[in-house]
Structure 1
Amino acid sequence: MNRRLIAAIGTAALLFSVAACSSSSKSTATSGSSSTSASGKTLTVWLMTGDNPAGWVSSVTADFKAANPGVKLNIQIQQWTNIVQKVTAALSQNNPPDVIDIGNTQTPYYAAAGGLMDITALKSALGGDGWTASMNGSAVYNGKQYAAPWYAGGRAVMYNKKLWAAAGLTSTPTTMAEYISDLNKLKTTSGVQSALYLPGQYWYFFDGLLQQAGANIATQSGGTWTGTLSSPAALAAAQQFKTLQAYGTAPKDQTETNQDSFFEKGNVATMIAMGYEQATIAAAAPSLANEIGWFPIPSDTAGTPGKTFLGGSNLAISAKSQNATLAQSFLKIALDQKNESMFAKDSGFLPNTSADYSALAGNAYAEAYEQAAPEAGYTPLVPTWANVENAPNPITTLFLTPVLEGKSPASSAAAADAQIATRLNQQQ
């Protein structure tokens, strides 16, 4: 999820203009269905790239049109690059997209600014009584429901079975020490260019190493945030990241965007990946379709997967939607058991209720990450967290890449901590 924000002050000002202009009457709407009076209208839904499996889109579209005769459903696919800037601008318009697919850690940002409809009264009607508490945490701000948790997922290790066998490896590792041992075998195996392809700005993976080390990106005390990458535990996590990054040819100054294009060449043995990347690789390189396997990112303790960042998306209704009732109908349909289970099966992401986990059976990525999910955590769920991801992201540009290039970890962490604190403590 690579996001590029506009300048922080400009963003805050723009979002507050959204809050000032939004209609409070829409936040109290309670109907989850439409009527024939809506015929001829168009409901616009923004979904992020990778969040639109064909079977699910077809099912939701058919169900929505059946429930709302004569209404057109306009699903538009968005790219993650610059998405916060784009959504921010859209929410300031009088006719924004009606439903938006938003990253879970970004939800408080939009909610605090008034850009999202308060759907607290709709929670039960949308199936919210059964939502997994940890997933729903990112959709709530100041005790009010501003979005519906849609799915969650995290990183696991994708591996090339053919290269694994060529290295003489007959099982997957259950500890980080075993994984390092396997990487050492893989790097000397014929046909392997990268034992682990790990881009140097892959901070979502780094966040999991931080959690595993008992560290944080930042902590809050007395209402003030302090960056904590300078802590001994965080510096140890950075060293572990550097050790792992050296097992491949991935650039030190790039993110994981399009990393699947390297795996599909057939000479990458392992990669830290999300489930949807497997489908992309299989489509581009059909010969690899049956050669991809998965296992949880290991921890130091056998039987306990490593901690990961719990990514995912929520579905929200724009506060200024001109089709609020239709938007509520869409959410109810998209999140019902049939369609939520279908999305989980097609995408491999965890559904918003454990009752639908049976849909994940046979999906190697999902079965691997399902083991790791109980160990997963979030970055700070606060409105100003989005400022930290503002380009240039200090976690990557001031800390990870400099450390990988040989600069002092302590001084790099201090520079990143100062910038993280500044951004988190900005007035919204």
Structure 2
Amino acid sequence: MKRQLIAAVGVAAMVVGVAACGSSSKKDDNAGGSYNGKTVTMWLMSGSAPQTWQDGVKQAFEAQYPGAKLNIQIQQWDGIGQKVNTGLSDGSVDVLEVGNTQTAGYASTGGLLDLTSDKADLGGNDWAANLNASSVLDGKQYAAPWYFTNRVVIYNKQLWTKAGITAAPTTLDEFYGDLDKLKASGVANPIYLPGQEWYTYFGLLSGEGGQIAVQQNGKWTGNLESPEAKDAFATYQKLQSYSAAPKDKDEATPQQGPLFAKGDVGSIIGLGWEAPAPKDMPADNVGFFPIPGKTADKPSGVFLGGSNLAVAQDSKNADLAKGLLKIALSDKFEGMMASTGLIPNKPSLDSLATTPFAQAAMKGSAVGATTPNLANWANVENPPAPIKEFMTAVLQGADYDSTAKKYDGQITDLLNQKQ
């Protein structure tokens, strides 16, 4: 899970061009109704699907397609970009998991099968629109949304109680007030929020109704100069002022989860895997609530990280691969993912996500967003990561407007580079 969630929001930078080996998919030859000798290879990333999910999908697939075999292979995120490129080119994979920020890159170079005509059969009419957005490129469906997650406030109940706080905040003003109380009670880090946690900033921006980049006259441009981006950063800057975390580091340098588990940090904004395990902190001492918005009726926007499932353009078993997708995306198996605390691809299954983290995350996911669905978005996330540099510069005292203009120029150049 930990590796998956990091990769789903960051590893897109490793996506490089994939040259499709053919112009159309190869269809199954199901002579006599037998699938004997056919094997569908599915690549899943380490930490994504529980073993019970894998076993159940394999059993259901092989029962529905007698004679066919499902070969699930677990891949590691390190070096996955090049491995996927090779697999899509040489036909060694049929169905694969791709992070939602990776999908456009693979689709744009011809590596993924167009599933537009199959969307309804796969259950797509019920998919949440904001979750499905990363699976669509230029109006065509190149993948299917599988599961998602987003950040919430994870807090130390013991410290909050000691500071006289009796209920979780529902507005930003209440949140600021609670952080003031934590600070007054002697907590050095009422919230641990490093300066480069751009996923939280992205969520705040989406909550303002803004976008990190926009299309103007057929060209994508950075949008940090917009009023919405400036307002969102003001919120981020105020939250960060309650933190002793460095302004030039992100949430993984060092990992914020272990820091929180030490017991002297009031709160973090994090993913489910960043909450302490019971052996490190009693479960009843860890609380969760959605990042508050300006009003109690609407939480802050959030970045939606997660994974999609896609079929390789040059799969030799395209029809079987689509059949596997239909099984994997069924309510039974989507519900199984939801029960582990993840957000399923359709709202009708939300009630199955019953963990405290999932219940808090679910509220934010309804107003969540993903990064621009562009093949070149990876260039922006790739070091030197202009959004992170921008955030550090402003937090360290640089003028917002001139700094935003500088980094908008960098983002614009990166988004319009030729592949």
Q: Could you say if the C-alpha distance between residues 132 and 230 of structure 1 is closer, same or farther in structure 2, counting changes exceeding 3 Å?
A: closer
Partner of 1:105, secondary structure, is coil
CA RMSD in angstroms, aligned pairs only: 2.7
The alpha-carbon deviation at position 117 of structure 1 amounts to 1.0
Residue among 297, 303, 315 paired with 2:297: 303
The alpha-carbon deviation at position 229 of structure 1 amounts to 0.9
User: Using the alignment, how far apart are the partners of 2:231 and 2:125 within structure 1?
Assistant: 41
Letter in 1 for 2:251: E
2:272·2:357 contact (CA, 8 Å) conserved in 1? yes
Residue 405 of structure 1: aligned partner: 396
Letter in 2 for 1:38: G
Alignment deviations for residues 68-123 of structure 1 (CA, whole Å, 9 cap, x no partner): 557252331433x66545534543x4134332222223322221210101122332
Aligned positions of 1:256-271 closer than 5 A:
256-257=251-252, 258-271=255-268
Q: Could you say if the C-alpha distance between residues 88 and 256 of structure 1 is closer, same or farther in structure 2, counting changes exceeding 3 Å?
A: farther
Residue among 229, 235, 254 paired with 1:240: 235
The alpha-carbon deviation at position 369 of structure 1 amounts to 2.5
Consecutive unaligned residues of structure 1, counting only runs of 5 or more, are none
User: Using the alignment, how far apart are the partners of 1:269 and 1:298 within structure 2?
Assistant: 16
TM-score, L = length of structure 1:
0.85
User: Using the alignment, how far apart are the partners of 1:337 and 1:176 within structure 2?
Assistant: 36
Residue 207 of structure 1: aligned partner: 202
The alpha-carbon deviation at position 218 of structure 1 amounts to 1.8
| Overall identity of the aligned pairs, in % | 43
Partner of 2:43, secondary structure, is strand
Consecutive unaligned residues of structure 2, counting only runs of 5 or more, are 1-8
The alpha-carbon deviation at position 262 of structure 1 amounts to 1.7
1:253 aligns with 2:248: yes
The alpha-carbon deviation at position 178 of structure 1 amounts to 0.8
Residue 217 of structure 1: aligned partner: 212
1:2 aligns with 2:18: no
User: Using the alignment, how far apart are the partners of 2:70 and 2:35 within structure 1?
Assistant: 13
Q: Could you say if the C-alpha distance between residues 422 and 156 of structure 1 is closer, same or farther in structure 2, counting changes exceeding 3 Å?
A: same
User: Using the alignment, how far apart are the partners of 1:187 and 1:86 within structure 2?
Assistant: 48
Residue 380 of structure 1: aligned partner: 372
Residue 69 of structure 2: aligned partner: 71
1:356 aligns with 2:352: no
Q: Could you say if the C-alpha distance between residues 359 and 224 of structure 1 is closer, same or farther in structure 2, counting changes exceeding 3 Å?
A: same
User: Using the alignment, how far apart are the partners of 1:209 and 1:148 within structure 2?
Assistant: 26
Partner of 1:55, secondary structure, is helix
Letter in 2 for 1:261: P
Residue 270 of structure 2: aligned partner: 273
User: Using the alignment, how far apart are the partners of 2:377 and 2:327 within structure 1?
Assistant: 31
Q: Could you say if the C-alpha distance between residues 216 and 58 of structure 1 is closer, same or farther in structure 2, counting changes exceeding 3 Å?
A: same
1:37 aligns with 2:36: yes
Aligned positions of 1:417-428 closer than 5 A:
417-428=408-419
Residue 4 of structure 2: aligned partner: none
Partner of 2:351, secondary structure, is helix
The alpha-carbon deviation at position 385 of structure 1 amounts to 2.1
Partner of 1:124, secondary structure, is coil
Aligned positions of 1:29-428 closer than 5 A:
35-38=34-37, 41=39, 43-47=41-45, 49-67=46-64, 71-79=69-77, 83-84=80-81, 86-91=83-88, 93-190=89-186, 192-257=187-252, 258-278=255-275, 281-282=276-277, 285=280, 287-346=281-340, 348-360=341-353, 362-397=354-389, 399-428=390-419
The alpha-carbon deviation at position 243 of structure 1 amounts to 2.4
Partner of 1:2, secondary structure, is helix
Letter in 1 for 2:189: S
TM-score, L = length of structure 2:
0.87
1:175·1:301 contact (CA, 8 Å) conserved in 2? yes
The alpha-carbon deviation at position 354 of structure 1 amounts to 1.6
The alpha-carbon deviation at position 417 of structure 1 amounts to 0.5
1:43·1:323 contact (CA, 8 Å) conserved in 2? no
